[in-house]
Amino acid sequence: DNQLFKAAMPVMAQIESHGYEAYFVGGCVRDSLLGLPIHDIDITSSAQPQEIEAIFKHTIDVGKEHGTIIVMWDQVPYEVTTFRIEGKYSDHRRPDSVAFVRNLQEDTLRRDFTVNALALDRQGQVYDFHDGLKDLKAERIRAVGNAEARFQEDGLRMMRALRFASQLGFSIEETTLRAIQKLAPTLKYISMERIRIEFSKFLLGSYLHTALPYFLDSNLSEYLLLPQGKVDSAIAELSDLLEETRNQFFANEESFVWMLFLQKLGLDQAKMKKLLRKWTFSNKFIDQVLAFDTLMHFETELFWSSQTAYAYNLNLLEPVQAYRLFRGEKTSKDIVEIKASLPMQDRQDMLVDGKDVMAALELKQGGPLIGQILAIIEAKILHGELSNEQEAIISFVKENWQGGGE
Ligand code: ATP
Ligand code: MG
């Protein structure tokens, strides 16, 4: 009855009409059985990637040799994974080899947790080879098969266990948790990028509070490239804070949550930057975290000023405003209104640029003067002393600088 499932039906039907099996699998099955919203559809099939390619007009190779291909249907990408079993894992990360198989049950053996190993066919029948439904009902994360062996194979699964506990509010089953405690050092074989993705989801999960004791028990924090000795208390403080602010939108904003976390770790901006780099965050993300940190430190008067409203984008201002109000800071001002009432919302709104200034003054070369003139124009517009219109600005420039400067 979900729109996303409905939209995927033709893809399933096409695969089946060519004599192959196809099932929904993974997060979409788990979440829909829990009555949670789903965000993407994963399909698993007996068809091999070349066979999928032969069936559909638009496919994208994202790892055919491992059995993964994307089918584009109505401009929606569907990840179709061939039933497979995995060979030995000698690097604790990736299987040395994969082999395609023709039955669903074998495929489920390689999946991480029982609630992630459920499959669903087009008729709505659920396939459950590992008591996933029982664990779903008991709200429990349990490894498929032997937990230690599964974490030996791929250490990332330990982070994933914590991530799902935090997203779903599930417990982590005893044996699974003990295996994590024992194999936590295996995390060192995993790339920072894969860890980051799971750890961020862990921090942002709606049930971080529930998952926290498992994290503290897991020994994983030792292997996370975070300042030792402070991690556990920082996450505990963050968890308390986020629990209090759960319904506030900033609690779901990845860069804002990271800023809070790094503040709890007691880092200054130079150290924040270094850590975020190590964690393979993009420069854009890092800039956001640092800007949030800066805005958090502004005094009340400075924060709710037109100067600040002009200098920062709303996507930075709004979360900080919400946070400061939540913290009980007193003001009757609204940063969105302050910004809206400015003659320009930001520098890009200025209707004249360096080239226009040069043209007005018939200069062939730029130079520091141009920048100075632009800064003056900007200030005049912001103070309401010059209107932000091309003609007005150009005549202002000519009046003041024609004839080669001051
Ligand atoms: P989400 O809702 O966040 O997408 P998901 O369960 O779909 O959660 P994905 O990372 O999209 O998680 O993976 C899809 C499925 O592939 C999982 O449900 C699981 O069955 C399997 N899987 C993913 N990563 C691993 C792994 N490291 N080891 C074993 N199985 C995995
Ligand atoms: Mg998924």
| 94 labelled binding-site residue | no
* Domain shared by 143 and 172, yes or no: yes
What pTM value is reported for the model?
Answer: 0.92
User: What is the structure's pLDDT at 1?
Assistant: 58
pLDDT of residue 406: 47
CATH number of the domain where residue 381 is located = 1.10.246.80
Which is the closest atom of ligand 1 to the Cα of 116? 18
pLDDT confidence of residue 2 = 85
149 and 217 in a common domain: yes
The residue out of 104, 138, 172 marking a domain boundary is 138
Which residues in the chain show pLDDT less than 70?
Answer: 1, 404-406
Distance (angstroms) between ligand 1 centre and the Cα of 117 equals 9
Same domain, 89 and 99: yes
* Residue whose CA is at the smallest distance from ligand 1 atom 16: 26
Residue 324 is labelled as binding a ligand = no
Q: Looking at the structure, do residues 262 and 338 belong to the same domain, yes or no?
A: yes
Domain around 359: 350-401
In the chain, the number of structural domains is 4
Say if residue 125 is in the same domain as residue 52.
Answer: yes
Report which DSSP code applies to 82. Answer: E
Q: Which of 42, 68, 118 to mutate to test the pocket of ligand 1 (most atoms within 8 A of CB)?
A: 42
Q: What is the DSSP string of 337-390?
A: HHHHTSS-SSGGG-S--HHHHHHHTT-SS--HHHHHHHHHHHHHHHTTSS-S-H
Please name the residue whose Cα sits nearest to atom 6 of ligand 1: 27
User: Which ligand is closest in space to the CA of residue 29?
Assistant: 1
Q: 10 Å Cβ neighbour count for 254? A: 15
Signed CA dihedral, 183, 185, 186, 190: sign only: positive
Residue 383 Cα to ligand 2 middle (Å): 51
Pocket around ligand 1: residues whose beta carbon is below 6 Å from it? 26-27, 42, 111-112, 116-117, 154, 156-157
The greatest distance separating any two alpha carbons of the chain, rounded to the nearest whole angstrom, comes to 84
- Proximal ligand: closest to the CA of 26: 1
Closest C-alpha to 77, from 91, 102, 89, 59: 59
**CATH number of 269's domain:** 1.20.58
The pLDDT value given to residue 365: 87
Shared-domain flag, residues 205 and 325: no
Could you tell me the distance, in angstroms and rounded to a whole number, from the CA of residue 318 to the centre of ligand 2? 30
Which of residues 119, 138, 157 is at a domain's end?
138
DSSP state of 192: H
Q: Is residue 241 part of a domain?
A: no
Task: With respect to residue 237, please indicate whether it lies within any of the assigned structural domains.
Answer: no
**Buried residues in 351-389 as b, exposed as e (16+ CB within 10 A):** bbeeebbbebbebeeeeebbeebbeebbebbbeeebebe
Q: Is residue 147 part of a domain?
A: yes
111 annotated ligand binder: yes
Establish if 22 belongs to a structural domain: yes
| Residue 240, in any domain of the structure | no
Query: Is 86 in the same domain as 28?
Result: yes
Whose Cα sits closest to atom 1 in ligand 1?
Answer: 27
User: Would you say 327 and 306 are in contact if contact means Cβ atoms under 8 Å apart?
Assistant: no
Single out the residue in 325, 342, 359 at which a domain terminates.
342
40 is annotated as contributing to ligand binding: yes
At residue 403, the pLDDT reads 74
Q: Are residues 202 and 298 in the same domain?
A: no
ipTM of predicted complex: 0.99
pLDDT at residue number 402: 87
Please check whether residues 2 and 97 belong to one and the same domain: yes
69 phi, psi to nearest 5 deg: -145, 150
